[in-house]
Structure 1
Amino acid sequence: MRLAHEIQPAVITLDVMMPGMDGWSVLRMLKADPKLHNIPVIMLSMIDDRMRGYSLGAVDYLTKPVDRELLHKALSRYYCAAEDICPVLLVEDDIETREVMARTLEKAGWTVSEAGNGQEALDSMSDQQPRLILLDLMMPVMDGFGFLTAMRARSEWRHVPVIVITAKDLTVADRARLAGNVEDVLEKTAYTREQLLEHVRDAVAACNISDQGK
């Protein structure tokens, strides 16, 4: 805990079985500390108890012996280059849905900004460029399609990954408009918390790898 306060790491890997204080106790302390609770924690253990880890706030769980490639992939999911902050822009007009999704993301260690429609999202991006956008399609003022058109027209925003989350029954024409402009499309209420976070991690990890190759 002392070291975590001193260096403020981007990610913490935490063993479960340790002398003195086990990993579960350390995880509870990390998530209860206002200065540390947003740091993503990956649990490492010989015992597969991932649901307990997730319920206590861990973002990932790997069983020992840990494969080096899997560990590298897990770490890359949570590493963001700029100041160890991973800002996610959540664009959703339904306040209740937006609040639930924001809490899920924040609990997993992401920094969330919110917008109620496409125009608000564009205004928000002028102040801070997100690492990822979660986008509803059916919104007032400017819908998700209009937002994508305006966003992709800006060279500095063209490569920001977008995940669409919608209740709209997409037509063939809708899917054609989204093709090449979004990383994934999720149907509202048809995914779990863990599935949402996995899609977010994978999109950001792919963006990180792309950035490293430039």
Structure 2
Amino acid sequence: PVTLRTEVAPALPTVIGDSDRLIQVMINLISNAVKFTSEGSITCRARLDGPRLVVSVTDTGVGIAPADQPKVFERFKQVGDTLTDKPKGTGLGLPICREIVEHHGGRIWVESAPGKGSTFSFTLPASNSTAPRGPIDLASLMRQLRERVVVTAPVSAERAPRILVVDDDPNIRELLNQEFLEAGYRVTLAANGREAIERARQERPDLIILDVMMPEMNGFDAAAVLKNDPSLMDVPIVILSIVQDKERGYRLGVDRYLTKPIDTEVLFREVGELLEQGKSHKHVLVVDDDQSTVRTLTDVLRAKGYRVGDAKLDDLLAQARALKPDIIMLKSDGSNQPDTVRMLRFEQGLENVVFIVYQ
């Protein structure tokens, strides 16, 4: 059990600011403390320090290593990569806390040691008024806290999307397994590319998360096999790797390419978007000056349920910007094709588009 305590100094001055945003800071800090404190206490304190109000949240949880403390307020950082005391690290709301506090003219910091808990503190400029504030509405605060920390399944368990997680690092597999299970997904695990292909053919997942550097068969080779299997080619693949080779991944047809260290907030957002896209048929842009070819491809693709648009080669950039298709089928003209693809993907904000070049 975890006990929530408050220690608020009497007759604190008024603070002028956005109450909703400041409540959000407290909710983020308390929910972070709850997540990483399996037993003990969480203490919220407020006191006056000269012209500043100092608010702190202290927990008796796992603590944070000194080397990791400068990173906790950076965007998209998950501190800790082992599962000895799952969960490790810090919540993803801390960068938001910093932005809100600094916007109000304050600062935020952490004091912590592994195994000894953490204290997150922030300051706010106090106004000249000394009128005391009313008592903290703990019931309201805890109600909002529960809304943030309680995870609800996206659908019933038997109909929940199945995620295939492929990584040779058992810690990463277990981390993602727990994160997705807690979010209500079904999860299948594989330790290498060959095992991933076998599991995918057996269970046909709704989405695959794939590492690159693995023994027996690496992630790029596995993605190539999966994207050329008629029964699996429409399953979204998210590459999650330390290897920086997005262009190769997108050439193979992967849907997203994310780099480690794992940012669970971004990963969950991308997974959600891909699964949502899968509920409706993808949009294909056919680019060819030969109208008979365009008509043939359009008929075939629409028969398979795709939404189809078309463009001439000269109109490719404008149409791609306007339609933002999922797939571009492009006739090769044998000249500047690689430059065209690179410009579309990296300069026009279409890096997640799958390109199919034909002759």
Q: Tell me: CA distance 1:208–1:51, structure 2 relative to 1, closer, same or farther (3 Å).
A: farther
Could you list the per-position Cα deviations for residues 22-53 of structure 1 after superposition, in whole angstroms to 9, with x for gaps in the alignment? xxxxxxxxxxxxxxxxxxxxxxxxx9x87753
1:138 aligns to 2:213 (yes or no): yes
Return the structure number with greater relative CO, CA threshold 8 A, min gap 6: 1
Q: Runs of 5+ in structure 2 lacking a partner?
A: 1-140, 283-303, 306-359
Distance 1:175 1:205 in 2: 24
Within the candidate set 261, 264, 278, 1:207 is matched to 278
Q: Which amino acid aligns with 1:206?
A: Q
1:55 aligns to 2:130 (yes or no): no
Show the counterpart of 1:160: 235
Show the counterpart of 1:181: 253
| Correspondence list, 1:29-178, <5 A | 52-58=146-152, 78=154, 84-170=159-245, 175-178=247-250
Please tell me the root mean square deviation across aligned C-alpha atoms, in Å. Answer: 2.7
| Contact 2:155–2:184, Cα closer than 8 Å, also in 1 | no
Residue 177 of structure 1: how far off its partner (Å): 4.3
Distance 2:259 2:203 in 1: 27
Residue 58 of structure 1: how far off its partner (Å): 3.9
Within the candidate set 186, 190, 196, 2:267 is matched to 196
Distance 1:205 1:114 in 2: 22
Higher helix fraction (1 or 2): 1
| Contact 1:92–1:136, Cα closer than 8 Å, also in 2 | yes
Residue 187 of structure 1: how far off its partner (Å): 1.1
Q: Tell me: CA distance 1:118–1:180, structure 2 relative to 1, closer, same or farther (3 Å).
A: closer
Residue 196 of structure 1: how far off its partner (Å): 1.7
Distance 1:79 1:206 in 2: 16
Distance 2:257 2:166 in 1: 14
| Contact 2:224–2:252, Cα closer than 8 Å, also in 1 | no
Q: Which amino acid aligns with 2:277?
A: A
Q: Which amino acid aligns with 2:170?
A: I
Distance 1:184 1:147 in 2: 15
TM-score, with structure 2 as normaliser: 0.36
Distance 2:273 2:145 in 1: 20
Q: Which amino acid aligns with 1:145?
A: F
Show the counterpart of 1:19: none
| Structure 1: 4+ residue segments shifted above 4 A | 49-52
Show the counterpart of 2:287: none
Q: Which has the larger radius of gyration?
A: 2
Distance 1:153 1:99 in 2: 29
Could you list the per-position Cα deviations for residues 45-95 of structure 1 after superposition, in whole angstroms to 9, with x for gaps in the alignment? xx9x87753422147xxxxxxxxxxxxxxxxxx469xx6231110011100
Distance 2:145 2:257 in 1: 26
Could you list the per-position Cα deviations for residues 164-210 of structure 1 after superposition, in whole angstroms to 9, with x for gaps in the alignment? 1111132xxx513433611111111252x332211111111101112
Q: Runs of 5+ in structure 1 lacking a partner?
A: 1-46, 60-77
Residue 152 of structure 1: how far off its partner (Å): 1.4
| Contact 1:164–1:185, Cα closer than 8 Å, also in 2 | yes
| Contact 1:89–1:112, Cα closer than 8 Å, also in 2 | yes
| Contact 1:162–1:182, Cα closer than 8 Å, also in 2 | yes
| Contact 2:236–2:274, Cα closer than 8 Å, also in 1 | yes
Give secondary structure in 2 for the equivalent of 1:210. Answer: coil
Q: Tell me: CA distance 1:136–1:148, structure 2 relative to 1, closer, same or farther (3 Å).
A: same
| Contact 1:79–1:205, Cα closer than 8 Å, also in 2 | no
Higher strand fraction (1 or 2): 2
Distance 1:146 1:180 in 2: 9
